Amino acid sequence: VGPVGPVGPVAPVAPVEPVALVSPLGIVKLNTAADDEPEFVTDDKGHRANGFTTDGGFAQYAVNHTNTLHRVPPTVSDELATMIVTAGTAMYGLDVLGGLLAGQSLIVTGAGPIGLMVVSVAKALGASPVILSDVVDERLHVGLRVGADVVVNATRESLADTVMQLTGGRGA
């Protein structure tokens, strides 16, 4: 989430207009030398993702295709817009994995912001049980608050044993 910088003559957004970025649809790396052309960097599916296949959010500038930018209304805070984008990332991840049916079990490894949002989205879609694994107890406590059915600190207990027990030996 951030303001738009200088734009070309056909851009559908105005400079300094706040926008949120939906990254799987197209991002380019902007070289810093004045005579360099923007460098398009993609993964094997043609996606470009800030922080993974290009410089991330700490870069001074990033060039993004206009189809990845979504206006943030003045009534929506940067914090809320960031949560909406994070939820979209969680939904995209679940979709790429083949979707999720109500009643299916799910393991989420890592209780960072994206992992915690995956827990929330998966619970909203009816996943059960949702098992969250991390090595930081504070993050696991947050995971319980956002909907994880079971949390596993992988430094103290076996995630594989817990999953097999919870799923009657099926795994997840």
Q: Collapse the DSSP code of 71 into the 3-class scheme (helix H, G, I; strand E, B; otherwise coil) and give the result.
A: strand
- Asked whether the whole model's pTM tops 0.85, one would answer no
Confidence band for 115, pLDDT divided at 50, 70 and 90? very high
Q: Does pLDDT of 143 surpass 50?
A: yes
CA-to-CA distance for 111 and 13, rounded, in angstroms?
Answer: 35
Query: Does 110 score more than 80 pLDDT?
Result: yes
The secondary element (H helix, E strand) that includes residue 106 is strand 106-109
Per-residue pLDDT tens digits for 15-68: 556 666 665 443 333 334 444 444 444 445 555 566 666 666 666 666 666 666
20 and 85 Cβ atoms separated by less than 8 Å: yes
Is the Cα torsion angle 127, 140, 87, 10 positive or negative in sign? Answer: negative
- CB within 8 A of 44, min separation 6: which ones? none
Q: Give all strands of the β-sheet with 63-64 in edge-to-edge order.
A: 39-40, 27-29, 63-64
CB atoms within 10 A of CB 152: 24
Cβ–Cβ < 8 Å for 90, 108: no
